[in-house]
Amino acid sequence: MRAHPQPSNYKMRKRIQLFMAVLLAAYVWLASMPVEAFANESNPAQEDQAIYQLLKSGKRPPQEKSYQTPEQPTVYLTFDDGPSKLTPQVLDILQKEGIHATFFALGEEAKARPDLIKRIIAEGHTLGNHTYNHVYNELYSDFQVFWKQIQESETIFDQIAGVRPQLVRAPGGTYTNFDAYYFYLLEQAGYTIVDWNVDSGDSTRANVPVKEIIHTVKSSPLEHEITLLLHDGAGHESSVEALPQIIQYYKDLGYAFAPLTSEVKPKQFSVGKPKWSRKMSLTHFEDLLQETKQYALAHGQPSPESDKAANQLVNQTQVAQAESAQTLPPAPSLPLQVNVGGGRGFTLEPTQYQLQSSRIELSLRFLVEKMGGYISWMEPVKTAIAHYGVYDVEYDLPKRSIRLFNLGKRVASYSMADMQMREGSIIVPLRKTIDLLGGRVTDAVMETDKREVTLAWHHLFMLNETPILLKNSLFALK
């Protein structure tokens, strides 16, 4: 033993030196890290407090979810306050028209007419939650009451039809009823709040005449996606009567109909100053936050194990997105390369097109000129004519219709609801316009560093040919 004291001391000294070196390295490394790295080290209590303060100021945290934009313009019919004895008539009409809608039902009414809830589900419609009793001064006295009613209705829907609706519509809409806490807490519980962008006006007073409902709908703006507010509650006979004409109106304009899902970007009103006097203390907020988050965990995912990895990925992405949204300027827009076949193509600069989900919108004139055609504008009838090889395509703005001429002969008419006038240009969707010009989009790459669309043509002879002005199509307008 005595033969080796020195090596042992030596070893100890070396160990201490190594330890010190590691400490020093750790210190240097930590000191070099940006302060934000520590700020992101989340302290849940501090985080809740920060959110609480943000919400108190009436602001909502940025939304991180991305949604699908349908290619075809779409109407989401929504019926509130049912089910009532009128609901079967609404369901019959939808069935006859072959379309699906969304029913924001009341728990109280569902309890009285469970078979109608079953029928709504069985026929492929979406069931949404419209609270239990619709009594404003209860629901908007405190979030706790609203939240209890959502759960109460949800339990009823679950017992009747085995569904827990993810979509919630606030009685009276969110504007001046909700504050930022209501929005935030419901989102934490896993719900999507849906207002509307077209109000049929069928509940402005009792017995609104059918004519008035139809007039209101027809004078509302035509957006690419329309969430239309209607009612199937008691006393709304005129809504039922107006329904077939409303459906026909949108069908003629080229709209599709779809039920709402949580993948559809919800129409939501901005947070206005609530008309209800409410108080939200930090501790009350923290209690509610915990409760809503636990509820989401308990009811959100049917199989938590298999979804864990996916959830982690989603969380990471959300954090990354939230960080980049807060700390970095928006990602630079990219040019869009359009390949038109035969090795030819052109590039659209970021200012020359708009991208919504995978949908590309651009100026009709620009597109046609890039492809070697040209546009004439008929001011008296507000119609643009794209001349392109043997084709002439008339874009009739007031009628939102398109007429296709081949060698001067009218071969087809279409509705194109999503044709718009923006800053003096007609803006059209790329895919549909290419379809109409005799081509199709065969490939689309929309990545963070590359945007490219490839087109194929059924009529190759059209490319770069001298456009022929077809007088017949001009005469047809006079």
Which residues lie near Zn ion (CB under 5 A)?
80-81, 171
- Asked if residues 384 and 426 have their Cβ atoms less than 8 Å apart, the reply is yes
Contacts of 13 (CB under 8 A, 6+ apart): none
Task: Output the smallest distance, CB 228 to Zn ion, in A.
Answer: 14
| Residue whose CB is less far from Zn ion, 128 or 259 | 128
User: What is the rounded CA–CA span in Å between residue 470 and residue 467?
Assistant: 9
Q: Which is nearer to Zn ion, 168 or 426 (CB)?
A: 168
Indicate the SS3 state at residue 80.
strand
- Smallest gap from residue 229 Cβ to Zn ion (A): 9
- 87-97 vs 114-122: helix crossing angle, rounded to 10: 10
Q: How far is the CB of 131 from Zn ion (least distance, A)?
A: 8
Nearest approach in angstroms of CB 218 to Zn ion is: 23
Q: Measured from the CB atom, is 203 or 433 closer to Zn ion?
A: 203
CA-nearest of 321, 341, 306 to 454 is 341
Residue nearest to Zn ion (CB): 80
- Closer to Zn ion at the Cβ: 80 or 396? 80
> What is the C-alpha separation between 468 and 445, in angstroms, rounded?
33
Residue 79 CB, nearest distance to Zn ion (Å)?
A: 10
Minimum CB–partner distance for residue 400 and Zn ion (Å): 31
Name which of 81 and 396 has its Cβ closer to Zn ion.
Answer: 81
Kindly state the smallest distance separating residue 80's Cβ from Zn ion, in Å: 4
- C-beta of 55: minimal distance to Zn ion in Å? 25
Cα angle 277, 282, 288; round to 5: 85
Residue number with CB closer to Zn ion (81 or 394): 81
Nearer to Zn ion, 128 or 171 (CB): 171
The verdict on whether 443 is a catalytic residue reads: no
Q: Which H helix or E strand runs over 148?
A: helix 143-161
Q: Quick check: is 231 catalytic?
A: yes
CA distance 435 to 356: 19
Q: Is-cis flag, bond preceding 332, omega within 30?
A: no
H/E segment holding residue 395: strand 391-396
Q: How many CA atoms lie within 13 A of 317 on its CB side?
A: 10
CA 210 and chain centroid, separation: 30
Q: How far is the CB of 200 from Zn ion (least distance, A)?
A: 13
**Cβ-based neighbours of 24, under 8 Å, separated by 6 or more:** none
Catalytic residue among 224, 231, 236, 387: 231
Say if residues 451 and 467 touch (Cβ distance below 8 Å).
no
- Residue nearer to Zn ion on the CB measure, 230 or 348: 230
Q: Which residues contact 240 (CB under 8 A, 6 or more apart)?
A: 86, 89, 90, 93, 232
CA neighbor of 376 nearest in space, from 474, 475, 476:
474
Cα separation, 174 vs 139, whole angstroms? 12
Q: State the Cα–Cα distance between residues 236 and 178, nearest whole angstrom.
A: 26
Compute the 3-state secondary structure of the chain and give helix, strand, coil in percent, each to the nearest 5: 40, 20, 35
Beta carbon nearer to Zn ion, 81 or 392? 81
Per-residue b/e over 66-102, b at no fewer than 16 CB within 10 Å? eeeeeeebbbbbbbbbbbbebbbbbbebbeebebbbb
Find, among 95, 209, 94, 81, the residue nearest to 136 by Cα.
Answer: 81
Active-site residue set:
80, 231
